[in-house]
Amino acid sequence: MLLKTLPIFLAFFLMGLADAMGPNAEKMKTAYDLSNWQSTLVSFSVFIAFAVFSVPGGVLAARIGKKKLLLLGLGLNAVALVLPSVMVPPFAVVLGCIFLLGVGTTFLQVAGNPIMRDVSPEGAYSRNLALAQGIKGLGSAASTYIVLAISSLAVFKSMDWRGAFPVFCILMTLAFVAVLFLRVHEAKVDEPPSIGSSLSLLGEPAFLLAVVGIFLYVGAEASMGRFLQPTLRDFGMDGDSAAFWGPTVFFLSLTVGRLLGSAILTVMSPRTCFRLSALLGLLGAAALMSGSKPLSLAGVLAAGLGFANIWPMLFSITVEEKPDRANELSGLMCMAISGGAIVPLVMGGLKDLNLGAMAYVVPAACFAYLLALSLRGGKPAPAPEPARAA
């Protein structure tokens, strides 16, 4: 099973590389002399693609298959990374390339989340999706480290913020080849969905509230990835230390939290895990509002652990309500990833108003909503199955 699903887990790992656009935006801000608000357009260009292409991606997955959509996403990502790998383009062209990267990553998310259900034993979907999201978190953490490590190598040092792009391009190409030879038995639908039938699901309150929850969660996570480094630098840390103790530690704790979540879900229901995660995420964001360096460092760790399992828990809880509409729900939930484009703009505007640490009221408010959402009732979740031997 592991060897068969390894290309899928590799695709999840590469989804996390898009998170490098947040920390990398700080270098691009210097290179292109941008304001805080303008620099958020880098992550905006990735995440706005989710708003435009997620629902069509869900429809396309149902029509051509999830594997083909994974291949399309990986191919688009590789193409998007070529131009910045070979030249220094104007900022507008960079945003275009990053938007294309967002389109490819959208397709990876839309296809990757439901295809995990196809390869999971009954009752193990939440656990396996948490593990896959942990691997995605590893990609997020690795992407931040890769950007720092590559920029220090002599062969890439002159490329500055572009140094990681050739490496990411090669990884996308290797993943494309791996998925190409993958055999997956996909669950089929009798009648392919349409964009209209997908959007009609928003008429059901449970799905609408969940989509808003994903929108705010991703926005809060993108805001952390973008602003943790400059926040810690304001405390007197040098650039490398601030990058490590900020986005790198945050994404590493995301990874650890998701891997722990996969184990915890063998004994805890997804809804209970969702509630505990939302509470911890809120406490971490609130600690960052304090303006205290020790509390902020603790807040980075707590926020990473709290943010870790929001996506797999909320996604799986929602999909299990209507598993026969998994492709459409995946498109809607991935459309909500566009929160990563909108919410950081709000936080960037507050930072430009010199509000300092108080700007973290934005992710704190997002997690206050998620905590309230987690306390809503729902149909009882099935008891977790014991882990099966491979």
Question: Domains plus CATH for the chain?
Answer: 2-374 (1.20.1250.20)
Per-residue pLDDT reduced to its tens digit, 299-312: 999 999 999 889 87
Average pLDDT over residues 3-20: 75
What single-letter amino acid sits at 332?
L
Query: What contacts 149, CB < 8 A, 6 or more positions away?
Result: none
Helix, strand, coil in percent for the chain, rounding step 5: 80, 0, 20
Per-residue pLDDT reduced to its tens digit, 12-61: 888 877 666 665 777 788 888 888 788 878 878 887 888 889 889 888 88
Q: Are 285 and 259 in contact (CB under 8 A)?
A: no
What single-letter amino acid sits at 355?
L
Give φ, ψ of 265 to 5 degrees. Answer: -70, -5
Q: Please state the pTM of the whole predicted model.
A: 0.70
Per-residue pLDDT reduced to its tens digit, 242-259: 888 888 888 888 878 877
88: helix, strand or coil: coil
| Secondary structure letter of residue 385 according to DSSP | P
CB burial of residue 374 (10 Å; 0-12, 13-18, 19+):
buried
From 142-146, 194-198, 268-272, 383-387, the region with the lowest mean pLDDT: 383-387
Closest CA to 314 of 184, 198, 221, 190: 221
